[in-house]
Homo-oligomer: A and B are copies of this chain.
Amino acid sequence: MKHVTIKDVAKKLNCSVSTISRAFNDKYDIRKETRDLILATAKEMEYSPNPIAKSLLKQCSNQIGVVVPEFINPFFPEVIIGIQEVFFKKGYQVLIMQSNESFDNEMENVKAMENNMVDGLILSLSFETQNVEYYENLIKQGFPIVLFNRVSNKLNTHKVVFDDYKWAFFATEHLIYQGYKNIIHFTTSHSLSFSQNRIKGFINAHKKHKLKIDEGSIIEAGLLISDGEREMEKLIALHKLPDAIFCVNDMCAIGAMKMLKKYGLKIPGDVALVGFTETKLAELVDPALTSVAQPTTEIGRTAALLLLEQIESKGLFVPQTVTLNGRLNVRESSVKAK
């Protein structure tokens, strides 16, 4: 339990603590032999410098904080793997917390991180977060923050995002190319920026191909399986079946799928489906779901690299928004039978 400290090593070697410190920090003003001797005996004594003391003195911790809204879905864990990969190599530790989609929790987490003197923060905003004043202040004070996925355009800092517009456009166009005419979109709360962008992509793909959309074509469903089920069931009850549905995410699409199956409707024969933000589920459900894959781990790596750059540049940096590419994985659920 008792840790061996720098003083113990100094006493053992009959020298001052500053010399030990010099040996460990590879300073120029120490003789090679002294350094080697110190390092050897320190190793033998199982001494390692106490990072807490170092943090206190240096006013930074070699830790970076990550706050995500949840990690039940595989998306955020995969991003975190990318983040850790980068920081692990650089000798940073990664502190992870989840806000559980609550603004209050998010603030608590961020403040805890701050108190812990993390050197920077990687953040994905919760569902509830509207008020970003606190982050604005942090950024203004020069605190390094990188946002990803759930960002706010009020915040002027590095961001890693996905081109939701473009890929929603492609996904919709894919359905159009397959020959579907009557396509609808299950979206989620309009307050989320990504849902606005996906809607825009959906609409513009229609415009490009001179297909018209009526007001019933965009339905606010939600992100959960139950949301997809509910809205699908409504449509079935109303006998207003579309040819195809572009869903805001895989969960929603899978909900729709379950309901279609329940009523004996064929996919894609009666209704074709496309998801978004692909998860493992996409290729496991039957029929396999066409979906847009995001480069999750890559997102993490990119965010980490941007944060590192920001930390090392000591305030002098130009906020940058990196948009990563995705991929439309076409599977059975959307391919029209000949």
Return the chain B residue nearest A92 by Cβ. B112
Return the chain B residue nearest A94 by Cβ. B97
State which of A48-56, A158-166, A169-177 sits at the interface with chain B.
A48-56
Return the chain B residue nearest A71 by Cβ. B77
Q: Are A52 and B55 in contact (CB under 8 A)?
A: yes
Chain B nearest CB: distance from A249 CB in Å? 14
Are A1 and B97 CB-contacts (below 8 A) given A52-B56, A281-B281, A284-B285?
A: no
Q: Are A143 and B48 in contact (CB under 8 A)?
A: no
A225 to B283, CA, bound (A): 11
Residues of chain B within 8 A (CB-CB) of A51 are 115-116
Main secondary structure of the interface of A (DSSP, over half): mixed
Closest 4 CB pairs of A and B: A286-B286, A96-B96, A71-B77, A1-B141
Residues of chain B within 8 A (CB-CB) of A61 are 52
The answer to whether A27 has its CB under 8 Å from any CB of chain B is no
> Contact mask A131-156 → B, CB, 8 Å, 1/0?
00000000001110000000000000
A112 to B87, CA, bound (A): 13
- Name the residue among A48, A81, A112 with the largest chain B CB count within 10 angstroms: A112
Q: Are A72 and B72 in contact (CB under 8 A)?
A: no
Contact of A71 among B71, B254, B285, B286 (CB under 8 A): B71
Q: How many positions in chain A have a CB within 8 Å of any CB in the partner chain?
A: 40
Return the chain B residue nearest A50 by Cβ. B115
> Contact mask A73-116 → B, CB, 8 Å, 1/0?
01001101100100000000111111010000000000010011
The answer to whether A266 has its CB under 8 Å from any CB of chain B is no
A53 to B100, CA, bound (A): 29
A225 to B53, CA, bound (A): 47
Q: Are B143 and A1 in contact (CB under 8 A)?
A: yes
Q: Are A53 and B50 in contact (CB under 8 A)?
A: no
Contact of A93 among B100, B116, B281 (CB under 8 A): B116
Chain B nearest CB: distance from A4 CB in Å? 12
The answer to whether A39 has its CB under 8 Å from any CB of chain B is no
Chain B nearest CB: distance from A73 CB in Å? 8
The answer to whether A261 has its CB under 8 Å from any CB of chain B is yes
Q: Are B74 and A142 in contact (CB under 8 A)?
A: no
Q: Are B84 and A112 in contact (CB under 8 A)?
A: no
Residues of chain B within 8 A (CB-CB) of A71 are 71, 77, 80
Q: Are A78 and B72 in contact (CB under 8 A)?
A: yes
